């Protein structure tokens, strides 16, 4: 499936010791006053250092609202958990992109029913055509609801063209 809302979830992922060490070093570098926690602005700098983008106001608000009000910022343990979850989501999106690209054999940026059938014939040759049609139909239904409800927070956005599923 192409959607987190459809039941697909990122797998648990563990950082390597060197990656974990890097995260701790970034935390310490951004903890300018050595308080043991990151302010909102310091958190944004840390995300830029680790992921290469500045978090939006909405993302920063969400993170800061989850912080214990008895502390003056994001503690190391919380920071490491946030970074791990962001890394999991990043890896999951990359995996989905890779799978989509494998299905999109003609590099069109969308999947037709025929693309879907060919892909499933290779990975699940005994799967009935009826089930493949249902899966394709379900993906269209989910994608249509995604377009109608912009508040759904999914890993993949889809756009429906007549008889196709597109990856944006």
**Separation CA 168–CA 165 (nearest Å):** 10
Residue 74 · residue 38 · CB < 8 Å? yes
pLDDT of 16 over the 70 cut: yes
More confident residue, 35 or 116: 35
Across the range 72-83, mean pLDDT stands at 92
Using a cut of 0.95, tell me whether the model's pTM lies above it: no
CA dihedral 87, 52, 110, 158 (to 10 degrees): 70
At 43, list the tokens. 């958190």
- Residue 150: half-sphere exposure toward Cβ, Cα within 13 Å: 0
Sign of dihedral through CA atoms 83, 85, 88, 89?
negative
pLDDT of 167 over the 60 cut: no
Kindly give the pairing relationship between strand 110-112 and strand 158-161: unpaired
pLDDT bin (cut points 50, 70, 90) of residue 49 is: very high
pLDDT of 81 reads 92
- Mean pLDDT score of the chain, rounded to an integer? 76
Across the range 44-64, mean pLDDT stands at 93
DSSP H helical ranges for 36-106: 40-51, 57-65, 76-103
Residues in the chain: 168
């Amino acid at each position: 499936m192409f959607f987190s809302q459809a039941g697909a979830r990122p797998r648990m992922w563990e950082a390597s010791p060197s990656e974990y060490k890097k995260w701790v070093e970034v935390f310490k570098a951004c903890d300018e006053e050595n308080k043991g926690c990151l302010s909102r602005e310091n958190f944004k700098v840390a995300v830029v250092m680790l992921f290469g983008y500045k978090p939006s106001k909405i993302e920063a608000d969400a993170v800061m609202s989850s912080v214990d009000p008895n502390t003056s910022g994001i503690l190391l343990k919380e920071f490491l958990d946030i970074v791990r979850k962001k890394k999991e989501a990043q890896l999951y999106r990359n995996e989905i992109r890779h799978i989509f690209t494998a299905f999109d054999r003609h590099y069109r940026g969308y999947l037709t029913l025929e693309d879907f059938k060919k892909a499933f014939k290779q990975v699940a040759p005994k799967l009935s055509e009826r089930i493949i049609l249902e899966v394709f139909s379900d993906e269209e239904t989910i994608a249509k609801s995604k377009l109608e409800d912009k508040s759904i927070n999914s890993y993949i956005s889809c756009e429906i063209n007549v008889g196709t599923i597109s990856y944006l």
